[in-house]
């Protein structure tokens, strides 16, 4: 992913109001992000931890998605959950159900789409093995790094397509 600015981030959201996009808390380390290793920019709002955000290139343009993390984290510390984007399994709340309001009329009617995602939204770094275990996940699989990156992108865009579905 190419580096992006605060202005680009705030103007690309499609499932929240312009006012909400102007008020959202940006990552404090925006300038230090490892852009070359990111397939998308994902972060939790430092001022509202139940909120998360994704900014991704979709159909040739930046697209921002506002997310809300589920409040139910009653699973035990040792319980394992799998992110549906990068397929990393994590314990202790490392994966949470996040919902995104659908765009258009469906979103205005309150319809949303949910997906289990890494709670820190750092799927790109897990898929590359930069975070987590040495191979980016703890599954015993034969897929190489490029395959994991491609799979992460396919899974992410599948989620986005559900948000955009009429």
Query: Considering only 9-23, 45-59, 102-116, 139-153, which range has the smallest mean pLDDT?
Result: 139-153
Q: Which residues on neighbouring strands pair with residue 62, listed in sequence order?
A: 57
Residue 80 in any domain: the answer is yes
Q: Where does 24-144 have alpha helices with state H?
A: 104-108, 123-127
Q: How many domains does the chain have?
A: 1
Q: Is the pLDDT of residue 58 over 50?
A: yes
Residue 139 CA, distance from chain mean position: 21
Distances (CA, A) of 110 to 30, 69, 78, 94, 150: 31, 16, 34, 27, 32
Residues of the domain holding 69: 6-164
Q: Is the pLDDT of residue 118 over 70?
A: yes
Rg (CA), the chain: 15
User: Region 85-101: what's the mean pLDDT?
Assistant: 91
Residue 22 in any domain: the answer is yes
Question: CB of 54 within 8 A of CB of 121?
Answer: yes
Identify the residue with better confidence: 139 or 150. 150
Residue 1 in any domain: the answer is no
Closest CA to 16 of 55, 72, 60: 55
Residue 103 in any domain: the answer is yes
Residue 46 in any domain: the answer is yes
Full-model pTM: 0.89
Residue 11 in any domain: the answer is yes
Residue 72 in any domain: the answer is yes
Residue 79 in any domain: the answer is yes
Q: What percent of the chain has pLDDT over 90?
A: 77
């Amino acid at each position: 992913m190419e580096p992006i600015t605060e202005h680009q981030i705030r103007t690309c959201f499609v499932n929240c109001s312009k006012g909400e996009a102007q008020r959202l808390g940006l990552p404090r380390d925006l300038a230090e992000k490892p852009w070359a290793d990111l397939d998308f920019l994902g972060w939790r709002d430092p001022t509202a931890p139940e909120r998360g955000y994704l900014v991704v290139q979709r159909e040739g343009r930046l697209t921002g998605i506002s997310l809300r993390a589920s409040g139910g984290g009653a699973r035990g510390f040792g319980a394992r959950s799998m992110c549906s984007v990068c397929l990393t399994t994590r314990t202790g709340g490392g994966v949470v159900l996040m919902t995104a309001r659908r765009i258009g009329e469906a979103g205005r009617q309150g319809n949303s789409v949910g997906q289990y995602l890494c709670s820190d939204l750092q799927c790109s770094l897990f898929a590359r093995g930069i975070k987590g275990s040495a191979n980016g996940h703890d599954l015993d699989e034969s897929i190489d790094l490029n395959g994991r990156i491609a799979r992460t992108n396919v899974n992410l865009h599948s989620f986005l397509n559900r948000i955009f579905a009429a």
